[in-house]
Amino acid sequence: MDLVLFLTVVLIFGIGLSFLYSATYQYSSMQGAFYLHNFLLRQIIWFALGLLIGAIIIKVHYQKWLELAYPLYGLSLILLAMVLCLGQVRFGAQRWISFGSLTFQPSEFSKLVIILTLARYLGQRKASPSQGKVLAASFSLVLLPFILIVKQPDLGTALTLIAVVLVVVYAWGARLWTLALIFAACALSSPFLWQMLKDYQKRRILVFINPDMDPLGAGYTIIQSKIAIGSGGVWGKGWLAGTQNQLNFLPERHTDFIFSVVGEEWGVIGAIFLLILYLVLFWRAFSIAQGSSNLSGRLLACGIIALLGFQIVINIAMTMGFVPVVGLPLPLISYGGSSLLTTMISIALLLNIGMRS
């Protein structure tokens, strides 16, 4: 097993726990110490469950998991449809299914299933000059989950699916100019996509262009996030000493905007250290992808790299105001059971591929 990859994941999670503690520390003063410990305990339980499931995944050859791709794809569509009918509504979005006290986000599960499905489908076909039908089928596999996720609405996860399919088909052998044409067609269709967006999503995009247009509404979080990161300076203000964080100026700081806490408390040096850890993770992941002699395994690894890489880049860029707010968690750092479990399963599949190259 690739111990460097595994230990890097454990280290990033440990750092994430410290920032989760800091981000939820003030909640305990308002609602009691149990509220604080509840966040940490839930995150640790999800991580432990991820380790357990990961051990099972590593034990079985990844080709066996690829054989389950189509049934899992069907299951993910059923779950996504259930969300629209029976899902729990939070913050104007219907993305969660509740089983008693357990809340599950099927769109997180679907991201990994789509990677498995694409890897199986394309792994059984060789790239050729007449690849139009294969590419059309690949994008069709993503289209229905994409529509169901956009309806929730969950624009961040939907955009992640686009990034994943583009990377996987490119790794398979699709010509670059073909992908450029597809990307151009998506760009040209943006006026139609704009009409499909909810009002709050449109406000987020407009606020990205001009954050001062609604400084106390849609622009409040990103303004506070940029203040937090900027105020951290080079060395940061110290753990539990970030004013934007501890004085409750920064919303959603334990989930989508936890990198703002990193920037405020650890500064540029701490943020760079975290990025270096992510780079080590991707270095090992790329090595696994390159070392795989099986096309399906290589495509599966590339899809996981695209999944994690897109989330990291967009989340960090979002907190600094470089892209609109789309609601993507920072892998292994942000609070959230579904996201953490999906990330741990992804890492387990990478380890599995590396062990059986």
**pLDDT band for position 307 (50/70/90)?**
very high
**pLDDT band for position 259 (50/70/90)?**
very high
Kindly report, residue by residue over 165-204, the tens digit of the pLDDT.
999 999 988 888 888 887 787 777 777 776 666 676 677 7
Tokens linked to 297: 């395994």
Q: For residue 133, what pLDDT is reported? A: 85
Q: For residue 121, what pLDDT is reported? A: 92
**pLDDT band for position 49 (50/70/90)?**
very high
Q: From 325, 356, 328, select the one nearest 343 (Cα to Cα).
A: 328
Q: For residue 125, what pLDDT is reported? A: 80
Distances (CA, A) of 126 to 107, 120, 153, 194: 30, 12, 36, 37
Burial group, residue 346, by CB count within 10 angstroms (0-12, 13-18, 19+):
buried
Structural domain count of the chain: 1
Reduced to 3 states, what is the DSSP secondary structure of residue 293? Answer: coil
**pLDDT band for position 328 (50/70/90)?**
confident
Q: What is the mean pLDDT of residues 30-50?
A: 77
Q: For residue 189, what pLDDT is reported? A: 73
Q: From 356, 347, 345, select the one nearest 284 (Cα to Cα).
A: 347
Strand-by-strand arrangement of the 102-104 sheet: 88-90, 93-99, 102-104
Q: For residue 314, what pLDDT is reported? A: 93
Q: Tell me the whole-structure pTM to 2 decimals.
A: 0.90
Tokens linked to 46: 């999800």
The CA distance from 220 to 207, in Å, is 9
Q: For residue 132, what pLDDT is reported? A: 79
Task: Give the domain range for residue 113.
Answer: 3-355
Q: Is the pLDDT at 305 greater than 80, yes or no?
A: yes
Burial group, residue 27, by CB count within 10 angstroms (0-12, 13-18, 19+):
middle
With beta carbons less than 8 A apart as the criterion, state whether 86 and 97 touch. Answer: yes
Kindly state the DSSP code that residue 201 receives in the 8-state scheme. Answer: H
Q: For residue 215, what pLDDT is reported? A: 72
Tokens linked to 309: 């890489």
Q: For residue 70, what pLDDT is reported? A: 93
With beta carbons less than 8 A apart as the criterion, state whether 274 and 262 touch. Answer: yes
Percent of the chain having pLDDT more than 70? 89
The CA distance from 280 to 275, in Å, is 9
Residue 95 backbone dihedrals phi, psi, to 5 degrees: -125, -5
Among the ranges given (125-139, 182-196, 293-307, 341-355), the one the predictor scored with the smallest mean pLDDT: 182-196
Burial group, residue 201, by CB count within 10 angstroms (0-12, 13-18, 19+):
buried
